[in-house]
Amino acid sequence: MKQVFEGKVYEILPSSNGIIFSYCKEKLEDKIVVAYKMVSFEDGRFTDIPKNVYLMTKFGTNYKTIIDHCDNYITTKSHILTNGKVLLLLKNGNAKLIDTDSTVVWQGNLNYRDTTASDIVIHKNSIWASFADCNILLRYNLSSMHEELRIGGSKSPFDKPKSMFLDGDHAIVCNKGSKSLTRVNLESYVVVEEENFEEEVSQYLKTDIYRFVILSSGLYLL
């Protein structure tokens, strides 16, 4: 494991030939200054990028209108679907499906026992949501948004599942509590432990050739 960037990193996004990430540039009293960088896979070069490049990568070409639906564009989870629609999950658990013309097709709250979803991934015709406070994953039907399946509970293989990454038919779950990655087969529902860290892990990202994690101390290449 190699540290790529030291400091508070909020999110990693895949780009055409590298990654983009947002990070805390500085703290000014009660204000946090967020900045953005791109890392090239060709030469490993770091480049400062403007906010609009980050927003377009995260929300698509209609980012100017889509961010109006976000209470905080940094903490909002976003998935661009193959049909161009964008699925958003806000920190308060409110989810929205936004069409290519920026109209809201559907919206609702992803809640479980008075807790809100911490992350979502889309697998085939379903949305999988992680609930860090309940140590579960829930599967929703993408069309009806009805709950269909639950993994975890009182005897859970998860420990504060903060975020997920879809890897084919598997979800890689970042467990903030146990500081580990867990692999979940979304077809057979088999759960296995992947890797453990000495710090809290908040995000995992896999590209064609590299794997990254965000830990408490920064961004790392696995």
Contacts of 188 (CB under 8 A, 6+ apart): none
Split at pLDDT 50, 70, 90, the class of 141 is confident
Contacts of 63 (CB under 8 A, 6+ apart): 52, 55, 56
Above 90 in pLDDT, residue 82? no
Split at pLDDT 50, 70, 90, the class of 75 is very high
**Of 98 and 146, the one with more pLDDT:** 98
pLDDT, tens digit, 9 for 90 and up, residues 11-46:
999 998 899 999 999 988 888 999 999 999 999 999
Contacts of 200 (CB under 8 A, 6+ apart): 176, 179, 215, 216
Residue with tokens 């830990």: 215
Mean pLDDT, range 167-182, rounded to an integer: 97
Query: pTM of the entire structure?
Result: 0.93
SS3 64: helix
| Nearest Cα residue to 116 out of 96, 98, 130, 127 | 130
Phi, psi of 123 (to 5 degrees): -130, 115
**Residues 134, 114: contact at Cβ < 8 Å?**
no
| Cα 191 from Cα 158, distance rounded (Å) | 9
Pick the range with the lowest mean pLDDT from 1-10, 61-70, 114-123, 137-146.
Answer: 137-146
